[in-house]
A = this chain, B = another copy of it.
Amino acid sequence: MAKLTSRSEDYSKWYNELVTQTGMAENSKVRGCMVIKPYGYAIWEKMQAELDRMFKETGHQNAYFPIFVPKSLFEAEEKNAEGFAKECAVVTHYRLKNDPKNEGKLMVDPEAKLEEELIVRPTSEAIIWSTYKNWIQSYRDLPILINQWANVVRWEMRTRLFLRTAEFLWQEGHTAHATKEEAWEETRKMLDVYAEFAENFMGIPVVKGYKTPSERFAGAEETLCIEAMMQDGKALQAGTSHFLGQNFAKAFDVKFATKEGSLEHVWATSWGVSTRLIGALIMTHSDDNGLVLPPKLAPIQVVIVPIYRNDEQREAISEVSLNLVSELKNKGVSVKYDDDDTVKPGWKFNEYELKGVPIRIAIGPRDLENGQVELARRDTLEKSLEKLDGISETIVQKLDEIQENIFQKAREFRDEHITEVSSYEEFKEVLESKGGFISAYWDGTEETEEKIKNETKATIRCIPFAEADLEGKKDVFSGQEAKFKVLYAKAY
């Protein structure tokens, strides 16, 4: 196992090595597409299970819509189409044939050209709203609260494992409502679900806020987001919830008869999180020794490593360990007993540290004599001797402590990296020396936003929900009257 590059040496290299060496993902032979390997996918499955439960608890059902969007539907909502047109994979033919000039090779059959091109969905508003049109006649058909787990394709030029890939996995909620108020309520509710998931399960503190018009989802009237901060001081958008107004209902002519008998356009929301969250998870908690995973999402929460010199010791330790395994399983803890004798305990220690297993238990012959085990915490790297009697309760309690600790640690880091600035000089200085979120007043113009972005690469991550006192405040760049207090940052 090669030693990881450290974060301070090269953060980006550290990240890539971590993702590949832990067996989470790797680049494939398809430009920009990744292979999500079993260890990475196991984390995604844990995320999916929690999110799916939360979506269902808030009244949503799953469904599945086609991966292809006919071009004429794709272009119906103009802003949405414009926003995604430049990064679309387009299916133009439906057959291959033998290449007469190259034996054993295939070529696209020119006679199998589609009458209308199909776009591989970059997002599903168009295909879904063209379907909802037939589902909605009256207020009785509303609301529609549907979520889809799916793959989507956006032809990004610069890709990075999990963070930005041409194909990624996500969920996309698409809801239809009778009133503006109800659609707004849904938009906010789902942002809250995302924030709760990020903080309570991923251990990632987030700021909730509005996107500026230039950062909005193409076709949305408002985009709400949760913004997280990575250890290199860059921001990462961890989830978005869009209030779509009546844009898609108008584009696809979706109207409903109200209780009073009038005909009105339907109100819409959409919201999504993706496998990008795995990148956020890695970059928030991990260290130079490898992954640090929150217990609630760790595929293996506890590993037990036996240390022995002979068969007699091995058998005695194995008996105790297997009892512990079954005790922990009964408590709902995911545990692995690693008695592979082809590698040494030290190798295993490194391996599970690299893979971010929250708790490692080591048991040797002297431990058995003393009725104790060694417990190593991945988050703090602390080791302690714990009584064997009642060890499963100790472990469950430590898992809770770890979950809480990594969230607190990430929150402290995040809070230390929100810097309020009052001049553009200070803005630039803080951005370069310290990074993180820069809290500053903004005049609300796209011009200012654009200029700052061009000069510093920092963008407005969000306008936080928290109310700001704008009385007498000036834009940090233009000196004009402030309309909002916003968070700037360089971002993934």
Give the interface of A toward B (CB within 8 A).
26, 28-30, 33-38, 41-42, 44-45, 61-71, 73-75, 78, 81, 85-98, 104-106, 108, 117-120, 127, 130-131, 134, 146, 150-151, 153, 155, 167, 169
Q: Which of B28, B71, B95, B120 is A91 in contact with, Cβ under 8 Å?
A: B120
Alpha-carbon gap, A146 to B38, bound state (A): 8
Does the CB pair A69–B106 fall under 8 Å? Answer: no
Q: Do B78 and A89 have beta carbons less than 8 Å apart?
A: no
The distance from the CB of A160 to the nearest CB of chain B, in whole angstroms, is 16
Cα distance A131–B131 in the bound complex, in angstroms? 37
Identical chains bound together, number: 2
When the two chains form their complex, are residues B118 and A89 in contact, meaning their CB atoms are under 8 A apart?
A: yes
Say whether, besides A30-B127, A108-B92, A117-B108, A62 and B35 are in contact (CB < 8 Å): no
Determine the chain B residues whose CB is within 8 A of the CB of A30 once the complex forms.
66, 68-70, 118, 127
Residues of B within 8 A of A167 (CB): 66-68
Alpha-carbon distance between A153 and B121 when the two chains are bound, in angstroms: 14
Instruction: Check B36–A63 contact: CB distance below 8 A.
Output: yes
- Is the CB–CB distance between A86 and B95 below 8 Å? yes
Between A and B, 5 residue pairs with Cβ closer than 8 Å are A29-B127, A42-B62, A71-B96, A92-B92, A120-B120
Complex: how many Å from CA A490 to CA B101?
40
In the bound complex, do residue B89 and residue A91 qualify as a contact, i.e. CB atoms below 8 Å apart? yes
The distance from the CB of A101 to the nearest CB of chain B, in whole angstroms, is: 14
Residues on the B chain within 8 Å of A26, using CB: 134
Contact: A65 with B95, CB < 8 Å? no
Q: Which residues of B contact A28 (CB under 8 A)?
A: 65-66, 127, 131
Q: Given the complex, which residues of B lie within 8 Å of A119, measured CB to CB? A: 96
- Nearest 10 A-B pairs (CB), nearest first? A33-B66, A38-B61, A36-B64, A85-B96, A94-B155, A90-B93, A30-B66, A92-B92, A30-B68, A89-B91
Q: Which of B44, B63, B90, B106 contacts A75 (CB 8 A)?
A: B106
Given A62-B45, A86-B95, A86-B96, decide whether A33 and B108 contact each other with a Cβ distance below 8 A.
Answer: no
Q: Which residues of B contact A68 (CB under 8 A)?
A: 30, 33, 89, 167
Alpha-carbon gap, A45 to B104, bound state (A): 41
Q: Which residues of B contact A96 (CB under 8 A)?
A: 71, 74, 81, 85-86, 88, 90, 119
Chain B residue at minimal CB-CB distance from A119? B96
In the complex, which residues of chain B have a beta carbon less than 8 angstroms from the beta carbon of A85?
95-98, 106
Q: How many angstroms between the C-alpha atoms of A284 and B236 in the bound complex?
A: 50
Q: Nearest B residue to A97 by beta-carbon distance?
A: B85
Chain B residues in 8 Å Cβ range of A153: 67
A479 to B272 CA separation, bound complex (whole angstroms): 64
Residues of the B chain whose Cβ atoms lie less than 8 Å from the Cβ of A98: 85
Contacts of A42 in B (CB 8 A): 61-62
Shortest A384–chain B CB gap in Å is 32
The smallest C-beta distance from A78 to any residue of chain B, in angstroms, reads 6
In contact, B66 and A34 (Cβ under 8 angstroms): yes
Measured in the bound complex, the distance between the Cα atoms of B29 and A45 in whole Å is 31
